[in-house]
Structure 1
Amino acid sequence: MYATRNIALLLLLYALGVLPAHAQKKPNIILVMVDDMGYSDLGAYGSEIHTPNIDKLAHEGLRLREFYNNSICAPTRASLVTGQYPHKAGIGYFNVNLGLPAYQGYLNQQSLTFAEVLKQAGYNTIISGKWHVGDDSAYWPAQRGFDKSYGFIGGASNYYDIGNYTDKAPPVELVENNKKIQLAPDKYLTDEITDHAITYINESAKNSKPFFLYLAYNAPHWPLQAPAENIAKYKGKYHIGWDSLRNERIARQRQLGIANPAQAIAKRDSIVPYWESLTYDEKILWEKKMEVYAAMLDRVDENIGKLLATLKQLKKDDNTLIVFISDNGAQGGFATSGARRKQRNSGPIGTAGSYEYQEQGWAYVSNTPHTNYKNNMHEGGISAPFIAWFPKKIKAGTIAQGTAHLIDIAPTFYDVAGAKYPASFKGVNTNPLPGVSLSHLLFNGTPIDRGTPIFWERAGNRAVRKGQWKLVSTFPEKTWELYDIATDRGETKNLAAARPEVVKELADDYAKWAAANDVEPFEKLRPAFQGLPGTGGSGPGSGGAGGRSSGGATVQPVRRGAGN
């Protein structure tokens, strides 16, 4: 009788989520990251792009209004994979070695990957997609804790004909479990990334271990390439142009509760021509680019649908946490001039032979309602959607303020998995985790109690977020701008002159953080890496930042640096 009562009590406590993680069946964890997707590019964040499966995760789970990344691919992935700030993990600039530990271009041994930690907690660990945190084979996923791995190693990839290199098609190292492979003819990389992940999940289901999957798509990163059937869905969809589309997205964001009507939105980007000033032929060209960009995200969503169907078939959907994010904001920079040339142009936009880019007019829409672009520390560069889904654990339809960062994801996963982050690993002392677990926010709705600011530095661009305040500086300028994000997330009113005491406080915080993380002045590093990713355009390190928008008259489009 007593045994029956005890079992009933345990079942009740388990159902209520009261039992500690180690006493429960450990959940599966899936982390989905897309590449170069703007804040407003999902239906659940105000987009017209058809993303029903991702929107399902949002409406049945939680969305954050404020989730931050590191503004560009490799530093973002360094923080995500390790839970460290990028310099502390060894990738303070990019996946290139600049000869200093904080800028070595690959993950150091002191910064453990979530695969290494979760593996010790009994997880099967899987990655499928983009790596970009260590080009040398000594630093590939299989060497950093992943049991199964498929994907490309570097920063960018075609979506078709990978491995069939020409003088104009950039080399892409496609690897499965440490072996170099080629993409099969007529295969589309987004589909292959998902299909390999599903294969690994099915293999994992044969044992009793939970699985961790890092699903890292390269879509919608350039080049613009997508299956014809997805492109066809958007034929004529963008005839209204970027000015009207931005207004429509803002209206939807306010209706959804993603954008606060009391907050100022970014001013119109003065570098972007007014849509109605373009010729008919120019409009047709630009429309086609956005049709393909939308198709690429549409295809990602279809693949998320396949993944969800697999979880349901395996009866793992009720015990799986899924987190969905983007690595940075959409990329600005017109292709009318400058260093980022088209690699090839042997077919229409969207096909395997094309090598087109979204460019600034549409990127300005993608980052709605924020200002600026990828590799810039204004909100358009570092803001991303954040969606968390866990049936019966996360309250459906939740929209929270958040103010979370990449460094918080690894602690969250360890908390959920009941995994202990070790003080040492394989004889090496580990870097302490600077982030906080989001589990109380996700499961209980408790606001984040961080206690310390969030910091950024990349290619001389710097920022600090502390409470309502944000301090930001764009290289080569040294002066700080100050914004009250609580009322002005569009960063329209610089309060630095009016609140010098706040500027000093946050600047002092930044100086201490920079010293602790071995951040070097960008001008000191500059001579060593002219011409490397993110150094072209309007000054070293511009990296696709676009340009600070001030609204007003149309000016001649200019080229900004690319970066990966």
Structure 2
Amino acid sequence: MRPILFVFALFLAFSASAQKKGKTTPAPTPSKPNIILIMVDDLGYSDFGAYGSEIQTPNIDKLAYGGLRLKEFYNNSICAPTRASLITGQYPHKAGLGYFNTNLGLPAYQGWLNQESLTFGEVLQQGGYNTYLTGKWHVGNDSLYWPNQRGFNKFYGFIGGASNYYDISPYPEKAPPVELVENNQRINLAPGKYLTDEITNHALSYINESKDKPFFLYLAFNAPHWPLQAPAEDIAKYKGKYKIGWDSLRAQRYRRQLALGIADPRQKVAERDPEVVAWESLTFDEKELWQRKMEVYAAMVDHVDQSVGRVVEELKKLKKDDNTLIVLISDNGAQGGLNQLGQRRRQRNSGPIGSAGSYDYQEQNWAYVSNTPFRNYKATSHEGGISSPFIAWFPKKIKAGTITKGTGHLIDLAPTFYDVAGVNYPTNYRGVQTNTLPGVSLKNLLFEGNDLVRNEPIFWERAGNRAVRKGKWKLVSLYNPPASPVPGTKSNNPWQLYDIEADRGETTDLAAVYPDVVKGLIADYEAWAKRNGVENYDKLRVVPNFPGTPNPGNNNPNNNRNNAANQGREGQGNPRAGSN
């Protein structure tokens, strides 16, 4: 006992001496975690290997298998409204982008983020974070509402909804320059550079420069959004990969999803889309053309995966990987909008699909595969339009190999990040009273494996497409234009009811079987719509020059607001319409 007492006495004496000399070492305090949010564009639920795909995504899959995947995570079906909810934690109407980045003259449809809806850049910046954004913005065109004005220390990317991936500006008659913005300065992409790489390069630079503070990085890839353009060496990896066609490939992906535990064999899968033609009905030349589309699409996803690998390697090199949360999602389902071969007007195409200056996109036949096993596409409120893969990775915090139901939504990510960062969401910011956050933090779901408890349903409305998710029930209504063009004529948009726990493929409408459930969910929807300033879409459609409404201005290629080609590519008109 005496030796032990002697050692203990020495320890006390040393501590007392250190205190007298002012050399007491304080207990180490854990540093705030870094946060990286990665969003990909127009990527379907099954397009990563960890969600059933044959596309080579080893780096993303490593995050998935080393972290957590959600079976049910929802977006807002299309680019700008999704980004509005993601960036602010608000429903899109509450943030000012209920329709698109287009000003319809109403607060909920003004086309840019309002001041009452704080961005995660603003909140985390005032909480001591360096905040960075690289890639796509698409929530306000005017420079007053660009990222540097909304809480981001640094920004590199493009402001609008789409961009070329290569610059061939010496030939402006073939394709325009790739217009970018870097910290409020307009620049062009240098010839020979690939935009996905440049977005990634700037992300790596930002990670390296953040030494004295934790950082938040929003890495918003535009791939695999149209136009289909990718490096030749990546396209070559997939040569002949898609000769089996979309029918067999969708079946293969579903079998993988079952094996992975992502799909539930007890749930019904979506029935075959009647607009998707049978692969074997195509001619040899048609098959060759369609294969090329998917080869390039796969190459674009592959290149995003390579970029994610570069980010993770940089974190490891800087010894920041153990203190970084990475979340990866998609902004909507894959894009439908089928146009039969020979009927598509290919604007400004100057080379084969995949090359600089080509303007093709995936289209409905392959999007049917990307959205396996769900129904419908981008811009609709069926599962194929609003379901996203969700991957979260945080070494020693998130248990590896976790797959859970989740039922999360975009509005949950901002409160999750604030919770993880230990940052308070202010009720007043620069003299403006802020909108309260409607979402719930996913922190306990991610770190503790606890079930996610929602006290409120999840809601959707965009271009007349509406939905409510409450427990196992989902109420859906797809917009159908009025039969009469006379202003004031109402459309016919019946509500459909699905039991998502048994029928996530939305194959059996139960509205007539459970009228009381329908009535209750409609009441929930109407109360939500009133709180968020949602207008009846038939009312909006009679606004003069409303984007998506046919008028002579749509034929003017210089009229950006009414350029039918541009709007079709983002799905702003007919919710089933695709790119031109």
**Corresponding position of 1:61:** 67
Q: Map 1:89-488; keep pairs closer than 5 Å.
A: 89-161=95-167, 166=172, 169=175, 173-205=179-211, 208-336=212-340, 341-476=345-480, 477-488=492-503
Distance 1:149 1:121, change over 3 A: same
| 1:518 has 2:533 as partner | yes
Distance 1:44 1:126 in 2: 28
Counterparts of 1:37 and 1:25, CA distance in 2: 34
1:459–1:541 contact (8 Å) kept in structure 2: no
CA deviation digits over 1:141-196, x for unaligned, max 9? 00000001100000000000176683564675400111011111100000000001
Distance in 1 separating the partners of 2:372 and 2:191? 37
Do 1:32 and 1:324's aligned partners in 2 also have CA atoms closer than 8 Å?
A: yes
* Aligned-residue identity in percent: 70
Matches within 5 A, 1:28-47: 28-47=34-53
482 and 27 in structure 1: CA distance in 2 versus 1, 3 angstrom threshold:
same
How far apart, in 2, do the equivalents of 1:118 and 1:419 lie? Answer: 7
SS state at 1:357 partner = coil
The residue number in structure 2 matching 1:86 is: 92
Distance 1:324 1:131, change over 3 A: same
Secondary structure, counterpart of 2:542 in structure 1:
helix
Return 5+ residue gaps in structure 2 as ranges.
1-7, 13-27, 481-491, 549-560
Q: Give the distance between the partners of 1:513 and 1:233, measured in 2 at CA.
A: 48
Q: 1:554: which partner in 2?
A: none
Q: Aligned equivalents of 2:185 and 2:121: distance in 1?
A: 19
Q: CA 1:284 to 1:120, structure 2 compared with 1: closer, same or farther past 3 Å?
A: same
- Secondary structure at the aligned position of 1:303 is classed as helix
Cα separation, 1, equivalents of 2:404 and 2:296: 32
Describe the superposition over 1:395-444 as per-residue Cα deviations: whole angstroms up to 9, x where unpaired.
Answer: 00000001000000000000000000000100000000000000000000
Q: Distance in 1 between matches of 2:168 and 2:426?
A: 39
Distance 2:189 2:58 in 1: 28
Over 3 Å counting, the alpha-carbon distance change for 1:293 and 1:541 in structure 2 is closer
Aligned partner letter, 1:437: S
2:177 touches 2:189 (CA, 8 Å); kept in 1? no
User: C-alpha distance in 1, partners of 2:10/2:325?
Assistant: 32
Contact 1:35 1:217 (8 Å CA) reproduced: yes
In the aligned structure 2, how far is the partner of 1:364 from the partner of 1:344?
Answer: 27
Going from structure 1 to structure 2, the CA distance change for 1:441 and 1:164 (only over 3 Å counts) comes to farther
**Distance in 2 of aligned mates of 1:340 and 1:140:** 34
Shift in Å, 1:2: 11
CA shift in 2, pair 1:349/1:430, >3 Å: same
CA shift for structure 1 position 24: 2.7
**AA aligned opposite 1:401:** K
TM-superposed deviation, 1:393: 0.2
1:504 aligns to what? Answer: 519
Residues 83, 483 of structure 1: alpha-carbon distance in 2 compared, 3 angstrom cutoff: same
What SS is found at the alignment partner of 2:73? strand
Q: Deviations over 1:280-339 (max 9, x none)?
A: 000000000000000000000001111111000000000000000000000001234899
Distance of 1:170 and 1:266 partners within structure 2 = 40
Q: Is 1:340–1:562's contact at 8 Å kept on the other side of the alignment?
A: no
Measure, in 2, the Cα distance between the counterparts of 1:68 and 1:338: 35
Residues in 2 aligned to 1:238 and 1:472: alpha-carbon distance in whole angstroms: 33
| Rounded Cα–Cα distance in structure 2 between residues aligned with 1:431 and 1:23 | 32
CA distance in structure 2 between the aligned counterparts of 1:148 and 1:47, rounded to whole angstroms: 34
Quote the Cα distance in structure 1 between the aligned partners of 2:541 and 2:578: 15
Mean CA deviation greater in 157-166 or 263-272: 157-166
Task: Describe how 1:12-31 pairs up with structure 2 within 5 A.
Answer: 24-31=30-37
- The TM-score normalised by the length of structure 1 is 0.91
Match of 2:82 in 1: 76
Task: Return the offset for 1:25.
Answer: 1.1
Change (3 A) 1:170 1:340: farther
The CA RMSD measured in Å over matched residues stands at 2.3
1:562 deviates by 4.0
C-alpha distance in structure 2 between counterparts of 1:114 and 1:161, whole Å: 31
Inter-partner Cα distance in structure 2 for 1:346 and 1:491 = 41
Separation of aligned partners in 2, 1:286 and 1:374: 20
- Give the distance between the partners of 2:169 and 2:143, measured in 1 at CA: 17
Q: 1:505 to 1:289 in 2, by over 3 A?
A: same
- CA 1:3 to 1:249, structure 2 compared with 1: closer, same or farther past 3 Å? farther
Instruction: State the distance in 2 between where 1:500 and 1:421 align.
Output: 40
> What is the TM-score when the length of structure 2 is the normalising length?
0.88
Cα distance, 1:50 vs. partner?
Answer: 0.1
Q: In the alignment, is the contact (CA less than 8 A) between 1:117 and 1:419 conserved in 2?
A: yes
Q: Secondary structure at the match of 2:475?
A: strand
Preserved contact between residue 534 and residue 543 of structure 1 (Cα < 8 Å):
no
User: 2:573, 2:399 → 1: CA distance?
Assistant: 39
Q: Structure 2 counterpart of 1:324, which letter? A: L
Alpha-carbon separation, structure 2, partners of 1:168 and 1:457: 38
Q: Cα offset for 1:454?
A: 0.2
Alpha-carbon distance change, 533 to 276 in structure 1, aligned in 2, over 3 angstroms: farther
Measured at CA, do residues 541 and 504 of structure 1 come closer, stay the same or move farther in structure 2, by a change above 3 Å? farther
Alpha-carbon separation, structure 2, partners of 1:448 and 1:339: 47
Instruction: Check the 8 A contact 1:333/1:544 in 2, yes or no.
Output: no
1:185 aligned partner, one-letter code = P
1:97-151 CA-partner distances (Å, limit 9, x unpaired): 1111100000000000001000111100000000000101110000000001100
Greater Rg by CA = 2
Q: For structure 1, which runs of at least 5 residues remain unmatched after alignment?
A: 6-21, 547-559
Code of the residue aligned with 2:58 in structure 1: it is: P
Distance 2:282 2:375 in 1: 23
